[in-house]
Structure 1
Amino acid sequence: MKVALIAKDKPGALDIRVANRPDHVAYLKSTPAVEQAGPLLDAEGAMCGSLIILEVADMAEAEAFVAGDPYGKAGLFASVELIPWNRVIG
Protein backbone atom coordinates (compact mmCIF):
# COMPACT_ATOMS: atom_id res chain seq x y z
CA MET A 1 0.00 0.00 0.00
CA LYS A 2 1.09 3.56 -0.60
CA VAL A 3 1.16 5.96 2.33
CA ALA A 4 1.78 9.71 2.30
CA LEU A 5 3.81 10.78 5.30
CA ILE A 6 3.30 14.48 5.97
CA ALA A 7 5.40 15.90 8.79
CA LYS A 8 5.47 19.53 9.87
CA ASP A 9 8.41 20.95 11.79
CA LYS A 10 8.12 22.65 15.15
CA PRO A 11 8.37 26.45 14.80
CA GLY A 12 11.95 27.65 14.94
CA ALA A 13 13.43 24.18 14.50
CA LEU A 14 15.37 24.71 11.27
CA ASP A 15 18.64 24.19 13.15
CA ILE A 16 17.45 20.72 14.24
CA ARG A 17 16.54 19.91 10.63
CA VAL A 18 19.89 21.04 9.25
CA ALA A 19 21.92 19.25 11.95
CA ASN A 20 20.11 15.93 11.36
CA ARG A 21 19.66 16.13 7.58
CA PRO A 22 22.59 13.86 6.61
CA ASP A 23 21.34 11.06 8.90
CA HIS A 24 17.76 11.57 7.69
CA VAL A 25 18.75 11.36 4.01
CA ALA A 26 20.85 8.25 4.69
CA TYR A 27 17.84 6.70 6.45
CA LEU A 28 15.59 7.46 3.46
CA LYS A 29 18.10 5.85 1.11
CA SER A 30 18.47 2.78 3.34
CA THR A 31 15.03 1.32 2.57
CA PRO A 32 13.16 0.46 -0.63
CA ALA A 33 9.94 1.59 1.09
CA VAL A 34 10.66 5.23 0.17
CA GLU A 35 9.35 6.00 -3.32
CA GLN A 36 9.63 9.78 -3.20
CA ALA A 37 10.71 12.27 -0.58
CA GLY A 38 11.44 15.94 -0.16
CA PRO A 39 11.09 18.89 2.17
CA LEU A 40 8.02 21.08 2.46
CA LEU A 41 8.87 24.77 2.04
CA ASP A 42 7.50 27.88 3.71
CA ALA A 43 6.64 31.14 1.90
CA GLU A 44 10.31 32.19 1.97
CA GLY A 45 11.49 28.86 0.54
CA ALA A 46 12.96 27.52 3.81
CA MET A 47 12.45 23.86 4.73
CA CYS A 48 9.59 23.47 7.21
CA GLY A 49 8.46 19.86 6.95
CA SER A 50 8.63 16.64 4.96
CA LEU A 51 6.55 14.79 2.39
CA ILE A 52 7.47 11.15 1.90
CA ILE A 53 5.63 8.60 -0.23
CA LEU A 54 6.06 5.11 1.18
CA GLU A 55 5.29 1.71 -0.33
CA VAL A 56 4.66 -0.54 2.67
CA ALA A 57 2.79 -3.75 3.52
CA ASP A 58 0.59 -2.05 6.10
CA MET A 59 0.25 0.95 8.40
CA ALA A 60 2.34 -0.78 11.06
CA GLU A 61 5.30 -0.73 8.67
CA ALA A 62 4.71 2.98 7.98
CA GLU A 63 4.57 3.67 11.73
CA ALA A 64 7.83 1.76 12.22
CA PHE A 65 9.43 3.86 9.49
CA VAL A 66 8.38 7.04 11.31
CA ALA A 67 9.73 5.71 14.62
CA GLY A 68 13.15 5.14 13.06
CA ASP A 69 13.50 8.51 11.33
CA PRO A 70 16.41 10.56 12.73
CA TYR A 71 14.33 13.73 12.37
CA GLY A 72 11.64 12.32 14.64
CA LYS A 73 14.21 11.03 17.11
CA ALA A 74 15.71 14.54 17.27
CA GLY A 75 12.32 16.06 18.12
CA LEU A 76 11.96 18.03 14.89
CA PHE A 77 8.30 17.43 14.15
CA ALA A 78 5.27 19.23 15.57
CA SER A 79 3.00 16.76 13.76
CA VAL A 80 3.19 13.63 11.63
CA GLU A 81 0.33 12.27 9.53
CA LEU A 82 0.24 8.89 7.79
CA ILE A 83 -2.44 8.87 5.12
CA PRO A 84 -3.19 5.97 2.75
CA TRP A 85 -2.67 7.27 -0.77
CA ASN A 86 -3.57 6.17 -4.29
CA ARG A 87 -1.39 7.33 -7.17
CA VAL A 88 -3.51 8.20 -10.20
CA ILE A 89 -1.03 10.14 -12.33
CA GLY A 90 2.74 9.76 -12.46
Structure 2
Amino acid sequence: MLFVVLKKDKPDHQKVRADVRPEHLEFLNANKDKIAFGGPILTEDGSGMVGSILTVEAESAAEAKAFLENDPFAKAGLFESVEVVPWKWVFKNPAA
Protein backbone atom coordinates (compact mmCIF):
# COMPACT_ATOMS: atom_id res chain seq x y z
CA MET A 1 0.00 0.00 0.00
CA LEU A 2 1.16 3.54 -0.70
CA PHE A 3 1.25 6.31 1.89
CA VAL A 4 1.69 10.00 1.15
CA VAL A 5 3.84 11.68 3.76
CA LEU A 6 3.69 15.44 4.28
CA LYS A 7 6.52 16.73 6.46
CA LYS A 8 6.77 20.42 7.37
CA ASP A 9 10.02 21.85 8.70
CA LYS A 10 10.25 23.70 11.99
CA PRO A 11 10.59 27.46 11.48
CA ASP A 12 14.15 28.72 11.15
CA HIS A 13 15.61 25.23 10.56
CA GLN A 14 17.08 25.88 7.10
CA LYS A 15 20.60 25.26 8.40
CA VAL A 16 19.59 21.88 9.86
CA ARG A 17 18.07 20.92 6.49
CA ALA A 18 21.17 22.04 4.59
CA ASP A 19 23.61 20.35 6.97
CA VAL A 20 21.77 17.00 7.05
CA ARG A 21 20.62 16.91 3.40
CA PRO A 22 23.53 14.76 2.11
CA GLU A 23 22.75 12.07 4.72
CA HIS A 24 19.04 12.34 3.94
CA LEU A 25 19.69 11.79 0.22
CA GLU A 26 21.89 8.76 1.03
CA PHE A 27 19.04 7.36 3.14
CA LEU A 28 16.57 7.84 0.27
CA ASN A 29 18.90 6.22 -2.26
CA ALA A 30 19.56 3.27 0.05
CA ASN A 31 15.80 2.77 0.43
CA LYS A 32 14.58 3.66 -3.07
CA ASP A 33 12.64 0.38 -3.29
CA LYS A 34 10.29 1.75 -0.58
CA ILE A 35 9.78 5.19 -2.13
CA ALA A 36 7.59 5.78 -5.18
CA PHE A 37 8.50 9.46 -5.49
CA GLY A 38 9.27 12.49 -3.39
CA GLY A 39 10.87 15.88 -3.10
CA PRO A 40 11.06 19.09 -1.10
CA ILE A 41 8.23 21.55 -0.49
CA LEU A 42 9.40 24.99 -1.57
CA THR A 43 8.78 28.50 -0.37
CA GLU A 44 6.22 30.40 -2.42
CA ASP A 45 8.96 32.07 -4.47
CA GLY A 46 10.80 28.76 -4.94
CA SER A 47 13.97 30.01 -3.30
CA GLY A 48 14.06 27.68 -0.30
CA MET A 49 12.91 24.33 1.08
CA VAL A 50 10.38 24.21 3.92
CA GLY A 51 9.30 20.57 4.05
CA SER A 52 9.10 17.30 2.15
CA ILE A 53 6.58 15.10 0.39
CA LEU A 54 7.29 11.39 0.00
CA THR A 55 5.17 8.52 -1.19
CA VAL A 56 6.19 5.41 0.72
CA GLU A 57 5.37 1.75 0.08
CA ALA A 58 4.47 -0.04 3.34
CA GLU A 59 2.06 -2.60 4.79
CA SER A 60 0.59 -0.10 7.26
CA ALA A 61 0.81 3.50 8.42
CA ALA A 62 2.70 2.26 11.49
CA GLU A 63 5.30 0.59 9.26
CA ALA A 64 5.64 3.75 7.15
CA LYS A 65 6.10 5.87 10.29
CA ALA A 66 8.71 3.47 11.68
CA PHE A 67 10.61 3.64 8.38
CA LEU A 68 10.47 7.45 8.37
CA GLU A 69 11.88 7.68 11.91
CA ASN A 70 15.19 6.44 10.46
CA ASP A 71 15.44 9.38 8.05
CA PRO A 72 18.37 11.59 9.11
CA PHE A 73 16.08 14.63 8.80
CA ALA A 74 13.76 13.12 11.43
CA LYS A 75 16.68 12.15 13.67
CA ALA A 76 17.97 15.74 13.47
CA GLY A 77 14.61 17.10 14.66
CA LEU A 78 13.89 19.00 11.44
CA PHE A 79 10.15 18.46 11.23
CA GLU A 80 7.44 20.45 12.97
CA SER A 81 4.79 18.01 11.74
CA VAL A 82 4.54 14.70 9.89
CA GLU A 83 1.29 13.45 8.36
CA VAL A 84 1.02 9.92 6.91
CA VAL A 85 -2.11 9.00 4.91
CA PRO A 86 -2.97 5.99 2.72
CA TRP A 87 -3.13 6.82 -0.97
CA LYS A 88 -4.11 5.20 -4.25
CA TRP A 89 -2.13 6.26 -7.32
CA VAL A 90 -4.60 6.44 -10.20
CA PHE A 91 -3.71 9.23 -12.59
CA LYS A 92 -0.39 8.89 -14.48
CA ASN A 93 0.68 5.83 -12.50
CA PRO A 94 3.59 4.37 -14.51
CA ALA A 95 2.80 0.87 -13.19
CA ALA A 96 -0.81 0.95 -14.41
TM-score class, shorter = over 0.9
Structure 1 stretches of at least 4 aligned residues deviating more than 6 Å after TM superposition: none
Larger Rg: 2
Aligned residue number for residue 61 of structure 1 = 63
- Unmatched tracts of structure 2, length 5 or more: none
- Following the alignment from structure 2 to structure 1, what is the Cα–Cα distance between the partners of residues 3 and 71? 15
- 14-23 or 53-62, which deviates more: 53-62
- Unmatched tracts of structure 1, length 5 or more: none
Compute the TM-score of the two structures, normalised by the length of structure 1.
Answer: 0.95
- Following the alignment from structure 2 to structure 1, what is the Cα–Cα distance between the partners of residues 45 and 16? 18
Whether 1:4 aligns to 2:18 is no
Compute the TM-score of the two structures, normalised by the length of structure 2.
Answer: 0.89
The 5 Å alignment of 1:1-90 reads 1-31=1-31, 32-45=33-46, 46-90=48-92
- 66-75 or 54-63, which deviates more: 54-63
Shift of 1:60: 2.1
How many residue pairs match? The answer is 90
Amino acid at match of 1:25: L
- Following the alignment from structure 1 to structure 2, what is the Cα–Cα distance between the partners of residues 74 and 44? 26
- Following the alignment from structure 1 to structure 2, what is the Cα–Cα distance between the partners of residues 10 and 44? 19
Structure 1 residues 38-83: Cα deviation after superposition (integer angstroms, max 9, x where no partner): 0000112110000000111222220111110100110100000001
State, as a whole percentage, how many aligned pairs show the same letter: 40
Cα RMSD, aligned residues only: 0.8
Amino acid at match of 2:68: V
- Following the alignment from structure 1 to structure 2, what is the Cα–Cα distance between the partners of residues 65 and 28? 11
